[in-house]
């Protein structure tokens, strides 16, 4: 059987499998024509020469006929090859090409049979044998070479062998042995042709199935690729957007900046850092669900104000960023935008039939003027909004280098503070709280002092605030408590009974096991709990941590420690809360003492009334003059603290006061 390369046709995509195989078979059959014709021409010439020398007169006619048929078959082959270049035409006319092939093949066979007829009547035995051998060889070769075409091949073999056998028996019955041999040979060749055809068909089908399988796999691959691409895009969308508000998140924002802003463009883009005010209170008091709703509503309001060419993103928590496109009038636009955003944020929000209010602080920085790196310009806007928060919230500020310096100082101070706490570098000052009637020092309030080797004296309002922000206040508070209890034992040896008042931050109070820590410090230092006062500001009453603070205050009271509300009246205080908490007393904020001739009196009177009703002790802070002292005394206050009575000092003032004002108090009493 002849082996072939994969024909050109089957590579083309065909929908009808049957037609496709037929086409492939036709192609294979035609591919064999040149070889077939070469053999045929050689055999024809050989036979013609032999018979011509035998004197058979019809030979030139026969030769002419054979060449004519061979020529036509060659022409068919040539035309078929050209036709195959067009798939559609090839598909449509495959039947016609098979017919032409078959006609040529069978015509050649009949011409050979005609030669047998002539030879067995007129030629020599040698010529007869030669013709028989040629016919047998052609029939044998046809089992392979005509295998692509089931019927055409078998009819060809039949004409060559069966017809020849019959003719020999008919015209030269003495050679019946040839006839019998021819018949046997015919049967064998037909079977061989059938087998070859089946093998060929099977291999073509397999080839086709493989191709279809590959096509299917490719289609599947293509589908998979598309799905992977779609998934990747969806993931990218998720990664670049905030799930709660649907706004771009940090990644999305930086991506936008990367694509939109150019550092080499002299035009500016404004970066507005938007930080909500009072959001934490809403979140803590009303729960995260309401908090989320507020964020969604605010995000929607901001997006309505956000210009088309700008981007609004959620930076995290209650922080948003709005970045404008680069333009000449960027600053004017940004300032107007900041006002608009503050206005839209402060408009009341209606959630679950409740009207809620948040505020907005805005920090603005300009790209590329303030920083050429995206993260840096955002950081600059962030520093600016922190400054807005420190300065009273609810407005906007434009970045100034001082903010970065402030931030740097805070950072340096923060680190230095940790070291100072560890290395015992802080010191303590004591300020007396005096009973103005008896002149006795009732309590000494402990105040931390920090003198840094290079940064100089750091004000408590700065480092205590910093310590609270960074949670270093816990370590600082422990140190103050421990240190002052040890020191206090020194000046309490005379049995003066002076108490110790220590300031405690709300963060300390909320830290795990605060009461236990106080108890263990008291135990370690041997300081009596009854002589310890802890001062906490009104932040104690914050809704978010009410249960925790109430429990800690109760635990502290159970130890025997007193608890005072410091700076009373300066923050948020609710009367009901004051009633619920087992506190010992209040320290009225010094701002009211400073306004004694204005409404300060009214407030102090009211506070006094509340304290009396609730059985609380009262201390007034910030007494700076005798005049204030006498006025306060007339309001019924006897415990006072202030520069007039004693400055905070590293040496505790434990001696009884005996100055003029005491006699004046007696006078005024009379
Ligand atoms: P505070 O607890 O209200 O302490 C009283 C503050 O008022 C002290 O300021 C004191 O020097 C000042 N002061 C006292 N009398 C007068 C007066 O007549 N006029 C004026 N204008 N001021 C007066 P200082 O030492 O700067 O402390 C500020 C705040 O820092 C304290 O306010 C307290 O809240 C906090 N603090 C200080 N030390 C500590 C500490 O060790 N732990 C904690 N948690 N906070 C502390
Ligand atoms: Mg205090
Ligand atoms: Mg105070």
pLDDT computed for residue 89 by the predictor = 53
Classify burial at 54, counting beta carbons within 10 Å of its beta carbon; exposed 0-12, middle 13-18, buried 19 or more: middle
Specify whether 247 is located in the same domain as 205.
no
Could you tell me if the CB of 460 is within 6 A of ligand 1? yes
Q: Which residues, 6 or more positions from 112, have their beta carbon under 8 angstroms from its beta carbon?
A: 134, 135, 138, 159, 160, 164
Closest ligand, as measured to the CA of 504: 1
Residue at 580 is within a domain: yes
Rg (CA), the chain: 55
Closest residue to atom 3 of ligand 1, CA basis: 567
Question: What is the whole-number distance in angstroms between the Cα of residue 507 and the centre of ligand 1?
Answer: 17
Q: Which of 158, 184, 218 represents a domain boundary (last residue)?
A: 218
Checking if the pLDDT of 446 tops 90, the result is: yes
Question: What is the whole-number distance in angstroms between the Cα of residue 433 and the centre of ligand 2?
Answer: 11
Residue at 596 is within a domain: yes
Q: Which atom in ligand 1 lies closest to the alpha carbon of residue 621?
A: 15
Could you tell me if the CB of 503 is within 6 A of ligand 1? yes
Residues 591-640 pLDDT 10s: 999 999 888 899 999 999 999 999 999 999 999 999 999 999 999 999 99
pLDDT computed for residue 13 by the predictor = 53
Asked which of 90-99, 269-278, 436-445 is least confident by mean pLDDT, the reply is 90-99
Q: Which atom in ligand 1 lies closest to the alpha carbon of residue 641?
A: 15
pLDDT computed for residue 122 by the predictor = 80
Tokens linked to 583: 């506190």
Question: What is the whole-number distance in angstroms between the Cα of residue 505 and the centre of ligand 1?
Answer: 12
The whole-number average pLDDT for the span 166-170 is 91
Checking if the pLDDT of 14 tops 70, the result is: no
Residue at 43 is within a domain: yes
Q: Which of 400, 435, 455 represents a domain boundary (last residue)?
A: 400
Checking if the pLDDT of 551 tops 60, the result is: yes
Q: Which residues, 6 or more positions from 559, have their beta carbon under 8 angstroms from its beta carbon?
A: 515, 518, 519, 522, 529
Which of 356, 357, 375 minimizes the C-alpha distance to 365?
375
Closest residue to atom 15 of ligand 1, CA basis: 642
pLDDT computed for residue 260 by the predictor = 96
The strand pairing partners of 452, in sequence order, are 456
Mean pLDDT of the chain: 89
In which residue are the tokens 């820590």 written? Answer: 517
Q: Is-contact 242 321, C-beta < 8 A? A: no
Specify whether 194 is located in the same domain as 300.
no
Work out the end-to-end distance of the chain between its first and last CA atoms, rounded to an integer number of angstroms: 142
Closest residue to atom 19 of ligand 1, CA basis: 622
Q: Which of 400, 421, 454 represents a domain boundary (last residue)?
A: 400
Could you tell me if the CB of 646 is within 6 A of ligand 1? no
Checking if the pLDDT of 350 tops 50, the result is: yes
Could you tell me if the CB of 648 is within 6 A of ligand 1? yes
Could you tell me if the CB of 458 is within 6 A of ligand 1? no
Tokens linked to 497: 């009974």
Specify whether 193 is located in the same domain as 303.
no
CB atoms within 10 A of CB 497: 12
Residue at 6 is within a domain: no
CATH code for the domain in which residue 454 is found:
3.20.20.450
Checking if the pLDDT of 305 tops 70, the result is: yes
Question: What is the whole-number distance in angstroms between the Cα of residue 417 and the centre of ligand 3?
Answer: 22
Specify whether 624 is located in the same domain as 544.
yes
- Owning domain of residue 187: 17-218
The whole-number average pLDDT for the span 217-238 is 86
Closest ligand, as measured to the CA of 589: 3
The whole-number average pLDDT for the span 576-605 is 92
Question: What is the whole-number distance in angstroms between the Cα of residue 447 and the centre of ligand 1?
Answer: 6
Q: What angle do CA 164, 166, 170 make, to 5 degrees?
A: 115
Specify whether 327 is located in the same domain as 443.
no
Q: Where are the alpha helices (DSSP H) in 526-659?
A: 546-559, 575-580, 590-594, 600-613, 626-634
Specify whether 171 is located in the same domain as 281.
no
The whole-number average pLDDT for the span 78-92 is 69
Three-state SS for 438-463 is CCCEEEEEEEEEEEECCCEEECHHHH
Tokens linked to 529: 């709990």
Q: Which residues, 6 or more positions from 262, have their beta carbon under 8 angstroms from its beta carbon?
A: 326
pLDDT computed for residue 348 by the predictor = 92
Closest ligand, as measured to the CA of 473: 1
Question: What is the whole-number distance in angstroms between the Cα of residue 448 and the centre of ligand 1?
Answer: 9
The whole-number average pLDDT for the span 416-436 is 94
Residues 152-163 pLDDT 10s: 999 999 999 999
pLDDT computed for residue 617 by the predictor = 97
The whole-angstrom separation of Cα 385 and Cα 154 is: 97
Specify whether 302 is located in the same domain as 179.
no
Reported confidence tier of residue 120, pLDDT bands at 50, 70, 90: confident
Could you tell me if the CB of 170 is within 6 A of ligand 1? no
Torsions phi, psi of 156, nearest 5? -60, -50
Asked which of 211-220, 433-442, 581-590, 616-625 is least confident by mean pLDDT, the reply is 211-220
Could you tell me if the CB of 505 is within 6 A of ligand 1? yes
Q: Which atom in ligand 1 lies closest to the alpha carbon of residue 473?
A: 44
Checking if the pLDDT of 131 tops 50, the result is: yes
> What is the value of pTM for the model shown?
0.58
pLDDT computed for residue 246 by the predictor = 95
Could you tell me if the CB of 448 is within 6 A of ligand 1? yes
The whole-number average pLDDT for the span 515-524 is 96
Residue at 2 is within a domain: no
Could you tell me if the CB of 590 is within 6 A of ligand 1? yes
Question: What is the whole-number distance in angstroms between the Cα of residue 266 and the centre of ligand 2?
Answer: 53
Specify whether 83 is located in the same domain as 196.
yes
Torsions phi, psi of 452, nearest 5? -90, 140
Q: What does the longest C-alpha to C-alpha distance in the chain come to? A: 177
Closest residue to atom 23 of ligand 1, CA basis: 622
Q: Which residues are designated catalytic?
A: 621
Could you tell me if the CB of 566 is within 6 A of ligand 1? yes
The whole-number average pLDDT for the span 576-598 is 92
CATH code for the domain in which residue 255 is found:
3.30.70.270
Residue at 442 is within a domain: yes
Reported confidence tier of residue 1, pLDDT bands at 50, 70, 90: very low
Percentage of the chain modeled with pLDDT above 70: 95
Q: Which of 487, 503, 644 is the pocket-test mutation for ligand 1 (most atoms within 8 Å of CB)?
A: 503
The whole-angstrom separation of Cα 292 and Cα 278 is: 14
- Sign of the torsion angle spanned by Cα atoms 210, 216, 222, 227: negative
Q: Which atom in ligand 1 lies closest to the alpha carbon of residue 643?
A: 18
The strand pairing partners of 448, in sequence order, are 428
Percentage of the chain modeled with pLDDT above 90: 63
Q: Identify residues whose C-beta is under 5 A from ligand 3, the ion.
A: 566-567, 621
User: Which one is predicted more confidently, 254 or 662?
Assistant: 254
Which of 242, 274, 233, 266 minimizes the C-alpha distance to 363?
274
Residues 449-482 pLDDT 10s: 999 988 889 999 999 988 998 889 999 999 999 9
Could you tell me if the CB of 538 is within 6 A of ligand 1? no
Residues 310-342 pLDDT 10s: 999 999 999 999 999 999 999 999 999 999 999
Specify whether 292 is located in the same domain as 247.
yes
Could you tell me if the CB of 507 is within 6 A of ligand 1? no
Could you tell me if the CB of 193 is within 6 A of ligand 1? no
Number of domains in the chain: 3
Specify whether 384 is located in the same domain as 490.
no
Q: Which of 447, 461, 589, 646 is the pocket-test mutation for ligand 1 (most atoms within 8 Å of CB)?
A: 447
Closest ligand, as measured to the CA of 567: 3
Q: Which of 430, 448, 460 is the pocket-test mutation for ligand 1 (most atoms within 8 Å of CB)?
A: 460
Checking if the pLDDT of 87 tops 80, the result is: no
Specify whether 383 is located in the same domain as 440.
no
Cis peptide bond upstream of 429, omega within 30: no
Classify burial at 72, counting beta carbons within 10 Å of its beta carbon; exposed 0-12, middle 13-18, buried 19 or more: middle
Question: What is the whole-number distance in angstroms between the Cα of residue 630 and the centre of ligand 3?
Answer: 20
Reported confidence tier of residue 493, pLDDT bands at 50, 70, 90: low
Closest residue to atom 10 of ligand 1, CA basis: 648
Specify whether 465 is located in the same domain as 513.
yes
Could you tell me if the CB of 447 is within 6 A of ligand 1? yes
């Amino acid at each position: 059987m002849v082996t072939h390369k994969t024909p050109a046709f089957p590579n083309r995509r065909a929908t009808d499998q049957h037609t496709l195989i037929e086409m492939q078979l036709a192609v294979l059959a035609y591919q064999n024509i040149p070889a077939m014709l070469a053999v045929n021409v050689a055999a024809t010439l050989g036979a013609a020469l032999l018979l011509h020398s035998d004197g058979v007169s019809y030979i030139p006619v026969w030769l002419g006929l054979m060449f004519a048929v061979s020529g036509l078959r060659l022409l068919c082959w040539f035309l078929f090859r050209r036709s195959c270049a067009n798939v559609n035409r090839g598909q449509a006319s495959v039947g016609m090409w098979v017919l032409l092939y078959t006609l040529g093949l069978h015509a050649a066979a009949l011409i050979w049979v005609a030669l047998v007829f002539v030879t067995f009547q007129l030629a020599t035995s040698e010529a007869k044998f030669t013709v028989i051998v040629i016919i047998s060889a052609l029939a044998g070769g046809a089992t392979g070479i005509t295998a692509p075409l089931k019927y055409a091949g078998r009819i060809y073999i039949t004409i060559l062998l069966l017809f020849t056998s019959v003719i020999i028996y008919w015209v030269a019955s003495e050679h019946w042995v040839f006839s019998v041999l021819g018949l046997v040979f015919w049967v064998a060749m037909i079977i061989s042709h059938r087998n070859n055809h089946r093998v060929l068909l099977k291999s073509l089908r397999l080839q086709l199935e493989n191709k279809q399988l590959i096509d299917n796999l490719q289609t599947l691959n293509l589908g998979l690729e598309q799905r992977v691409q779609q998934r990747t895009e969806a993931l990218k969308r998720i990664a670049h957007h905030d799930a709660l508000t649907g706004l771009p998140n940090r990644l999305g924002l930086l991506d936008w900046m990367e694509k939109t802003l150019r550092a080499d463009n002299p035009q500016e883009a404004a970066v507005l850092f938007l930080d909500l005010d009072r959001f934490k209170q809403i979140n803590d008091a009303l729960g995260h669900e309401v908090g989320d709703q507020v964020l969604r509503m605010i995000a929607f309001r901001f997006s309505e104000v956000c210009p088309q060419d700008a981007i609004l993103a959620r930076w995290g928590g209650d922080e948003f960023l709005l970045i404008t496109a680069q333009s000449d009038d960027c600053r004017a636009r940004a300032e107007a935008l900041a006002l608009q955003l503050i206005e839209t944020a402060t408009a009341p929000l209606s959630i679950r039939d409740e009207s809620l209010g948040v505020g907005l602080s805005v920090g603005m920085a300009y790209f590329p003027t303030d920083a050429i790196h995206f993260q840096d310009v955002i950081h600059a806007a962030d520093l600016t909004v922190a400054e807005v928060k420190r300065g009273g919230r609810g407005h906007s500020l434009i970045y100034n280098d001082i903010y970065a310096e402030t931030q740097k100082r805070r950072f340096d101070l923060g680190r230095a503070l940790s070291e100072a706490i560890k290395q015992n570098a802080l010191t303590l000052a004591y300020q007396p709280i005096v009973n103005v009637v008896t002149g006795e020092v009732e309590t000494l309030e402990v105040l931390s002092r920090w003198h840094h080797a290079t940064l100089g004296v750091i004000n408590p309002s700065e480092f205590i605030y910093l310590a609270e922000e960074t949670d270093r206040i816990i370590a600082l508070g422990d140190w103050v408590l421990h240190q002052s209890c040890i020191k206090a034992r020194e000046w309490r040896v005379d049995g003066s009974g002076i108490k110790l008042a220590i300031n405690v931050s709300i963060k300390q109070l909320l830290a795990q096991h605060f009461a236990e820590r106080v108890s263990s410090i008291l135990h370690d230092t041997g300081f009596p709990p009854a002589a310890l006062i802890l001062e906490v500001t009104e932040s104690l009453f914050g809704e978010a941590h009410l249960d925790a603070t109430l429990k800690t205050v109760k635990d502290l009271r159970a130890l025997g420690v007193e608890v005072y509300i410091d700076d009373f009246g300066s923050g948020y205080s609710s009367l009901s809360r004051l009633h619920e908490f087992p506190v010992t007393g209040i320290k009225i904020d010094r701002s009211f003492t400073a306004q004694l001739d204005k409404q300060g009196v009214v407030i102090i009177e009211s506070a006094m009334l509340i304290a009396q009703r609730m059985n609380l002790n009262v201390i007034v802070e910030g007494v700076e003059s005798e005049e204030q002292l006498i006025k306060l005394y007339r309001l019924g206050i006897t415990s006072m603290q202030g520069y007039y009575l004693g400055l905070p000092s590293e040496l505790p003032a434990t001696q009884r006061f005996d100055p003029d004002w005491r006699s004046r108090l007696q006078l005024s009493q009379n």
